[in-house]
């Protein structure tokens, strides 16, 4: 289901990575007695979720799919990246051009960008629009401003009464500005759990509602996560999360490899990498520590960042994401003239050509002294993606504990907010 290969990383180390320390970190995670242990809801989430709410998510998504041409998803950070990653990976980065009978999905409220909001207003004009606003507090600046605009739009377009059916909130279970408003207006609500931080929330209603509305099989996503949660609950080298965490920490601490590049095989992975960057950057980047998360989309970026990776500062490690079977494939057509000299590839699948490219790149980067790991999933489907997401979450918890930090807080994001609100003159 998911395979990890760290041979080309371990060969750079003097001795094996510290699997025992990884096992100990895993035990802390599972016992729930480490730092940040009030945010461990994600660990058992694939099993211990609210089944009644889960059914409502499916019903609500079905209603949106039947009735909506466009779903506007308002959220930032963890209330944005998970859903976008899954939708772009399993539908496509061109989903809105190629929606295949599903609603178009517009992610907004994730910046302070009038042009973005104005464009979406133009694009949905005359279409049947639903909103999903995702905010635990309801007072986060970016989604709150976007919600004001789009709430106003649907109320003007459909009238107050009908608008109430078209606005769905994912927010705190009991308190907060958005919850109060939703109760007053009678919006359907889903829950951002107290014990799951934003960057670990993709498998809660935060991610699941927009994902289901896009037509993705969330049962399969959850099954993949549950199966992976079983695998990731066992100590030792059969647990890929233990391997990944132990190896990257060894490369970081012993060899000073301070930047990890996650290399993906196509554009559809771009936001999986963005989600991964938040997960790892926000979990580990504290107290002056942490592996800097960066990403490449191959083979495009071999013609861009490839030179640096091969020959630049030797502070890099690289993790290749691959997929054994692509979603769709084509073969190289024959060419009578063979002007490009590629007839030796005629009839070959792009999948098999990519496999050679990836292997060639890995060998080259290893020879350039970049330790490389590889994580392979079987197919780009919901089940395998659910497994991959859970794997990365589990490995991140382990890796953060190995680093000696609380992987579940984000104290550093407050300072800019304080400055900003002061400059904005907040009363």
Give yes or no for residue 309 binding its own copies (CB under 8 A). yes
Query: Cβ–Cβ contacts within 10 Å for residue 365, how many?
Result: 22
Q: Is 365 among the catalytic positions?
A: no
Give the one residue of 15, 126, 341, 347 binding its own copies; rule: CB under 8 A. Answer: 341
Q: Which stretch binds its own copies (CB under 8 A): 159-167, 220-228, 336-344, 386-394?
A: 336-344
- The active-site residue, picked from 142, 282, 284, 318, is 282
Among 19, 39, 80, 391, indicate the residue that binds its own copies (CB under 8 A): 80
Q: Given the rule CB under 8 A, which of 39-47, 58-66, 218-226, 338-346 is the region that contacts its own copies? A: 338-346
CA-based R_g, the chain, Å: 22
Closest distance to its own copies from the beta carbon of 58 (Å): 27
Q: Does 81 bind its own copies (CB under 8 A)?
A: yes
Contacts of residues 216-222 at CB distance under 8 Å and 24 or more positions apart, as own/partner, are 216/86, 216/87, 216/90, 216/91, 216/382, 217/382, 218/57, 218/58, 218/61, 218/382, 220/381, 220/382, 220/383, 220/386, 221/86, 221/382, 221/383, 221/385, 221/386, 222/46, 222/49, 222/386
User: Under 8 Å CB-to-CB from 72, ≥6 apart: which residues?
Assistant: 106, 108, 120, 124, 129, 130, 131, 132, 150
Residue 78 touches its own copies, criterion: CB under 8 A = yes
Candidates 69, 223, 326, 378: give the one binding its own copies (CB under 8 A). Answer: 326
Segment near its own copies (CB under 8 A), from 60-68, 213-221, 231-239, 271-279? 271-279
CB of 238 to its own copies, least distance (A): 30
Exactly one of 113, 162, 230, 325 binds its own copies (CB under 8 A); that residue is: 113
CB 129 within 8 A of CB 157: yes
Site for its own copies in 82-111 (CB under 8 A): 92, 94, 96-98, 104, 110-111
393 near 233, Cβ under 8 Å? no
Distance, in Å, from the CA atom of 324 to the CA atom of 349, rounded to the nearest integer, reads 13
Active-site residue among 303, 337, 415, 422? Answer: 303
Burial of 311: CB neighbours in 10 Å, binned 0-12, 13-18, 19+? exposed
Query: Residues 271, 354, 391, 392: which binds its own copies (CB under 8 A)?
Result: 354
Give, as ranges, the residues between 201 and 240 that touch its own copies (CB under 8 A).
none
- Does 299 bind its own copies (CB under 8 A)? Our answer is yes
Pairing, β 188-191 against β 167-171: parallel
- Beta-bridge mates of residue 130: 71
CB of 59 to its own copies, least distance (A): 26
* 303 half-sphere exposure, CB direction, 13 A CA radius: 3
One residue of 312, 324, 325, 404 binding its own copies per CB under 8 A: 312
Q: Does 315 bind its own copies (CB under 8 A)?
A: yes
What residues numbered 167-196 form the site for its own copies, per CB under 8 A?
A: 177-178, 180-181, 184
Kindly list the catalytic residues: 282, 303, 417
């Amino acid at each position: 289901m998911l395979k990890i290969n760290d041979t080309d990383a371990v060969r750079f180390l003097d001795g094996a990575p510290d699997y025992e320390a990884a096992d100990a970190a895993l035990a802390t995670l599972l016992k729930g007695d480490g730092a940040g242990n009030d945010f461990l809801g994600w660990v058992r989430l694939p099993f211990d979720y609210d089944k009644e709410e889960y059914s409502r998510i499916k019903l609500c998504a079905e209603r949106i799919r039947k009735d909506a041409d466009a779903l506007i998803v308002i959220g930032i950070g963890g209330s944005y990246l998970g859903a976008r990653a899954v939708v772009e990976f399993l539908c496509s980065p061109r989903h809105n051009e190629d929606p295949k009978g599903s609603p178009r999905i517009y992610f907004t409220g994730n910046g302070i960008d009038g042009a973005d909001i104005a464009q979406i207003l133009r694009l949905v004009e005359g279409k049947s629009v639903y909103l999903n606003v995702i905010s635990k507090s309801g007072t986060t600046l970016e989604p709150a401003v976007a919600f004001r605009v789009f709430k106003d739009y649907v109320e003007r377009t459909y009238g107050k009464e009908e608008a109430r059916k078209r606005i769905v909130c994912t927010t705190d279970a009991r308190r907060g500005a958005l919850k109060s408003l939703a109760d007053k207006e009678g919006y359907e609500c889903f829950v951002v759990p107290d014990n799951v931080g934003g960057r670990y929330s993709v498998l809660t209603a935060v991610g699941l509602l927009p994902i289901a509305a896009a037509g993705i099989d969330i049962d399969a996503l959850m099954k993949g996560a549950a199966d992976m949660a079983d695998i990731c609950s066992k100590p030792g080298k059969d647990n890929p999360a233990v391997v990944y965490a132990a190896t990257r920490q060894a490369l970081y601490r012993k060899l000073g490899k301070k930047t990890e590049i996650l290399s993906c095989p196509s554009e559809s992975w771009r936001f999986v990498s963005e989600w991964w960057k938040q997960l790892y950057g926000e979990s580990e980047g504290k107290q002056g520590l942490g592996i800097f998360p960066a990403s490449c989309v191959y083979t495009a970026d071999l013609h861009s960042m490839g030179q640096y990776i091969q020959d630049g500062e030797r502070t890099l490690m690289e993790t290749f994401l691959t997929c054994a079977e692509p979603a769709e494939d084509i073969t190289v057509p024959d060419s009578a003239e063979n002007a490009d000299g590629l007839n030796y590839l005629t009839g070959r699948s792009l999948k098999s050509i990519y496999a050679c490219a990836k292997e060639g790149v890995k060998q080259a980067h290893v020879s350039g002294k970049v330790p490389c790991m590889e994580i392979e999933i079987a197919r780009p489907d919901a089940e395998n993606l659910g497994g991959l997401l859970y794997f990365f979450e589990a490995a991140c918890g382990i890796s953060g504990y190995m680093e000696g930090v609380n992987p579940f807080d984000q104290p550093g994001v407050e300072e800019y907010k304080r400055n900003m609100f002061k400059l904005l003159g907040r009363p």
